[in-house]
Amino acid sequence: MSEEPGEVVVYWRPMCPYCMKLLARLRFTRLRFTKVNIWQDPDAAAFVRSVADGNETVPTVTVAGRAMVNPSKRELLEAVEAYAPHLLPGSG
């Protein structure tokens, strides 16, 4: 998968309650991120399998190239703060 340095990518699929929960919570953070539907992107599905023990576990999120499988909103924001703080609202 190619992503810009410092980018946040959320790998998800339709009807996934865990994906919907995380995406809903992220709406209120104003964090910039890219959504990738693994059912529409075979390369994205392969990437998720490569970091999730062969499973298509979603949401899987990358922050500056670091993968997290099914992170909480807090875990995700902590990773952004550590590895891509420029993406946080109010950073300049």
56 Cα distance to chain centroid: 13
Mean pLDDT (the chain) is 91
For 34-44, what is each residue's pLDDT tens digit?
A: 999 999 999 99
What pLDDT, on a 0 to 100 scale, did the predictor assign at position 49? 98
What's the rounded Cα separation, in Å, for the pair 15 and 5?
Answer: 29
What pLDDT, on a 0 to 100 scale, did the predictor assign at position 72? 96
Q: Biggest alpha carbon distance in the chain?
A: 39
**In the beta sheet, which residues pair with residue 68?**
61
What pLDDT, on a 0 to 100 scale, did the predictor assign at position 2? 47
Tokens 């910039």 map to which residue?
32
For 6-35, what is each residue's pLDDT tens digit?
A: 689 999 999 999 999 999 999 888 898 999
Q: In 3D, which of 56, 45, 64 has the Cα closest to residue 5?
A: 64
Q: Residue 82's pLDDT band (boundaries 50, 70, 90)?
A: very high
